[in-house]
Amino acid sequence: MNVFIINCGSSSLKYQLFNMLDESVLAKGLVERIGLDGAKLSHCPNNKDRYEIETEMPDHVKAIELVLAALVDEVHGVIDSMDKISAIGHRVVHGAEDFSGSVLINDKVMQSLIDNISLAPLHNPPNIMGIEACKKLMPSVPQVGVFDTAFHQTLPKHAYLYGIPYEFYQKYKVRKYGFHGTSHKYVAQRAAAMLGKPIEKLKIITCHLGNGASICAVDGGKSIETSMGFTPLEGLMMGTRSGDIDPAIVSFLMKKEGWSLEEVSNVLNKRSGVLGISGVSSDFRDIEIAAEKGNERAQLALDRFDYMVKKFIGSYVAAMNGVDAIVFTAGLGENSPETRYDVCKGLTYLGLEIDTDKNAVRGKEADITTDSSRVRVLVIPTNEELMIARETYEIVQ
């Protein structure tokens, strides 16, 4: 059985086709600049040459049509007909309080997605477009929604409520939702498998450190706390997002700079974080290089990032009254021994000991602690696409 996974952005679309018998990837690819000049499909079939095509793609329907044509193409294809696609799994960013797990998409689910647009105005509309495009092109194939927020629906109320008048939770559902749920769930499950213990018996802290970054406390397999909030802006400082700040800074800067709400929101989302502090780049590789060359602000950005990760880990140990394993994942977590070392060297009070040789690993699963370490530290490459494929497969089964 083959499952087709789609992650739709406003002008882009990433896809993978999985054979669920062995969870192998038959093909994957990316469509960029949908609705713009220079739209391009890059299709990578397994064991065949990469194929690129630049052509007009006014909308997501046309983009998905081209992807499907590539999948069944005689030369570049990997299946002989579209009938070989048994289910479609969509990454959906916001499921609000309506979805605590993945669901088969029907009219009622679509209505909920539409109702929740105000909570994720940039992300849910393209996700909806992708679902509608697939419905048009493959009306008889079941579609499943896999939500970034769903894994965190197990947060207790005292963790997800903000200290603002309760009526705003009741009226507008203003609360912590958390994101990257598919990734946190995947790496927590892999951690339990690597440790050879049932996840129900483990306290795990998962650190998804990419351009967007969040941390999650997974107690007995359930998310009980996470660093992103009502939006992905809360929590850790990130590539370009500020993370936690005093909310009074918003009105202060608006007055001082004469900014509109959009302008201040743009600064906090796009010009802050390690980019804002370093003035160098939002990409951690560039910042690491600049810091090595003696750029003090680049070093400051790295120091503050690592410090925040360490503080969140400490607070999640408190939230769970202990920790068995800490997981590093995503671009930086998987590939930066320096970040992992800097974070962990301040956690020796937990009985945690990093093995510097083992920590030299990049992009591969590994336990990077000494044999005597009381807390395991694991590097686990995330695989959100596989997780979406598994959940889709389970639901249509």
Residue 145 near residue 92 (C-beta atoms within 8 A):
yes
Kindly state the tokens that stand for 242: 């500020």
Residue 271 phi, psi (nearest 5): -120, 10
Stretch of 93-101, 130-138, 155-163, 331-339 lying at the interface with ligand ADP (CB under 6 A): 331-339
* Residue 186 binds ligand ADP (CB under 6 A): no
Element (DSSP H or E) covering residue 254: helix 248-257
Residue from the set 25, 66, 280, 330 that interacts with ligand ADP by CB under 6 A? 330
* Residue 380 binds ligand ADP (CB under 6 A): no
CA–CA distances in Å: residue 219 to residues 156, 184, 194, 348? 12, 12, 17, 21
* DSSP of 152-213: GGGS-HHHH--SS-HHHHHHH--S---S-HHHHHHHHHHHHHHHTS-GGG-EEEEEEESSSE
Q: Of the listed 22, 80, 148, 367, which one is catalytic?
A: 148
- Please, which of residues 229-288 interact with ligand ADP by CB under 6 A? 239, 283-285, 288
Residue from the set 95, 178, 212, 235 that interacts with ligand ADP by CB under 6 A? 212
* Residue 342 binds ligand ADP (CB under 6 A): no
Task: Read off the DSSP letter of residue 369.
Answer: B
Q: Give residues with Cβ within 8 angstroms of 304, minimum separation 6.
A: 237, 277
* Residue 299 binds ligand ADP (CB under 6 A): no
Between 28 and 135, CB nearer to ligand ADP: 28
Kindly state the smallest distance separating residue 223's Cβ from ligand ADP, in Å: 19
Residue 155 near residue 187 (C-beta atoms within 8 A):
no
Kindly state the smallest distance separating residue 250's Cβ from ligand ADP, in Å: 24
* Residue 335 binds ligand ADP (CB under 6 A): yes
* Residue 126 binds ligand ADP (CB under 6 A): no
* Closest of 233, 329, 228 to residue 272, by C-alpha: 233
Q: Is 246 a catalytic residue?
A: no
Kindly state the smallest distance separating residue 52's Cβ from ligand ADP, in Å: 21
Residue from the set 39, 109, 332, 386 that interacts with ligand ADP by CB under 6 A? 332
Please identify every residue annotated as catalytic. 148
